[in-house]
Amino acid sequence: MASDANPPAKADEPRRSQLRRILDEESPEVRKKVGRAIFSLSLTALVTIALLGVFLIWHLMRRARLIRERLPLPREIELVDPLAKPTDEFPVSNPESKRPT
């Protein structure tokens, strides 16, 4: 009986990926190198996503500041106190008295 490098896969087991086959067949040194490479790539992706988030927040804050600087100053208005007694300056209008009968 000849020994095969890749034994036949069972029907219920998923097919192994090419990377998994390389890692199983190679020495532990290669496995460590590939592990470090995957870790470095994952770390690089994480740092890149974090930097994009920081730049996005910075951009939105800067844009909001620029928009606020271009807005005119708010107008001064006086609100009438609804509980205050009517005066000559602020008469209270009665909507019932203005209805035609």
Q: Tell me the pLDDT tens digit for each residue of 24-79.
A: 777 778 878 888 999 999 999 999 999 999 999 999 999 999 999 999 988 888 88
CA–CA gap between residue 54 and residue 60 (Å, rounded): 10
Using an 8 Å Cβ cutoff, are 31 and 23 in contact?
A: yes
Residue 7 has pLDDT above 70, yes or no: no
- How many CA atoms lie within 13 Å of 8's alpha carbon, on the beta-carbon side? 3
Predicted confidence band of residue 1 (pLDDT cuts 50, 70, 90):
very low
Tokens at residue 32, please? 């460590």
pTM score over 0.85: no
pLDDT for the residue 10: 61
